[in-house]
Structure 1
Amino acid sequence: MIPILSLCLLLLSLQCTPKVEWIRSLPVDAARDHQITLGFYSRPAEKKSAFGSKQFQLYWKEEIHLQSNSKFTKIWIEWKVYEDHSEFHHKVGLGNFEKSGDWVLLQTNIITESKCISFEKTKTIPHGKDWSKLFPCSTPISPNNRSIDHRLLYYYDGKSLYPLQYESGYTEANFGIAWESDLPYTKSSLFEIAKLKYGKKEFQPHVYNHVKLD
């Protein structure tokens, strides 16, 4: 009886799980175009602490830099401040992007990752742009380069990029806009509701907004 029940639950789970394979590619027969604003797109980020703890603070940055020749750089930085030390974690992804209408596919080919620790007393982090040059590492940084084939589709509304699944620092989770939509590559009512829901999240919203440089 138990094996039969388990099988039924598995089949029900498979039926209820949305098919989101389409978030790894552009529509096959759709024309490609280059109508997108190049430059930096930044994910809204605020410092976080565990239940208001004064012993731990989390800062992070996430940016996508769309460049000419369909190249992009994806930057993820995490700066953890503890009472007696700080930890720094930095990832940079390099790849190519393609666009078709409202959909933009980012394909990462190379990731460079680096980590280091500081035992200096740090209460607040600097407001400079390049944290990798500002972090006071107590040990030398040894970047780790590796090849990768990571693809993720974004929705582009003319000013912002919305990832269709949760992703941060190339770590993904099975939820997001596509998981609550009904049809691939379609701006249905369910898609719009999910986009509004995840794009307005207080912590790690699923959106990168274009940054106008001074």
Structure 2
Amino acid sequence: TQPQSAPDAELDGIFEKRLPPLSPLTSVYYKEKHSEILKFNAKEKSFQKIYIREIEDGGIFRRIRIEGSGKYRSKGNWVLLITENIDSEESVWKDGRQISSQKSSDLGSSSRKLLYHYDRGSDSVIPMIYDSGYGEKPFGVVDGTKNPHSEDDHFQISRRNYSRKEYQGHAYFKAK
């Protein structure tokens, strides 16, 4: 494994996943949109992660918002996000009136950590495993790595492949 030679990543601003809307071809009534952004503050070494999912099914509209915040640490191109609290809210609307609402908070009861890689060339960050709305799946860029924290050819190919996925997008790109 080669030592880390890049200067520590200083992330600032908004990074967003490029996610297409989801709507099954067999339904004329179902529409789904979702978005995920990461907001970094380099001065405070902090971040906010916001996931929004909106589902319209016939006359019923459902909105889910999950927002996490915490601190980040970086070593070269590697960025560790340490989530300190997560707030979630779900509301359901019918005919323009709210028919249900739920809120919950997880304030520091469990610290969540997820390792990301920053690429200066594409100005993007990508988690080592798939993560959407704080739901992690056991696959991702890590599948193409042989040595931890190595940026070898295997890693670069895996990162490039997962950065380009449209369905279950992995990478967050700097908002222009």
| Residue type at the aligned position of 2:58 | E
In structure 1, the residue corresponding to 2:143 is in which secondary structure? Answer: helix
1:13-60 superposed Cα distances (whole Å, 9 cap, x missing partner): xxxxxxxxxxxxxxxx979x6542401000001111123521211100
Question: Is 1:197 paired with 2:167?
Answer: no
| Residue type at the aligned position of 2:59 | D
Taking only the aligned residue pairs, the percentage that are identical comes to 25
Q: 1:100 to 1:137 in 2, by over 3 A?
A: farther
Aligned equivalent of 1:101: 76
Q: 1:185 to 1:144 in 2, by over 3 A?
A: same
What root-mean-square deviation, in Å, do the aligned CA atoms of Structure 1 and Structure 2 show? 2.1
| Residue type at the aligned position of 1:64 | L
1:128-183 superposed Cα distances (whole Å, 9 cap, x missing partner): xxxxxxxx661464421113311111110121101110000000111000122111
Structure 1: stretches of 5+ with no match in the other structure: 1-28, 121-135
Aligned equivalent of 1:60: 34
Question: Is 1:90 paired with 2:54?
Answer: no
- Deviating beyond 6 angstroms after TM superposition, the runs of 4 or more aligned structure 1 residues are none
Question: Is 1:157 paired with 2:119?
Answer: yes
Q: Which has the larger radius of gyration?
A: 1
Q: 1:181 to 1:70 in 2, by over 3 A?
A: same
User: Between Structure 1 and Structure 2, how many residues are aligned?
Assistant: 169
1:141 & 1:36 partners in 2: Cα distance? 38
Q: 1:110 to 1:118 in 2, by over 3 A?
A: same
In structure 1, the residue corresponding to 2:98 is in which secondary structure? Answer: coil
Answer yes or no: is the 8 Å Cα contact 1:62–1:75 preserved in 2.
yes
> Which of the two has greater helix per residue?
1
1:56-87 superposed Cα distances (whole Å, 9 cap, x missing partner): 11100100000131111000010011012011
> Which of the two has greater strand per residue?
2
- With the length of structure 2 as denominator, give the TM-score of the two structures: 0.88
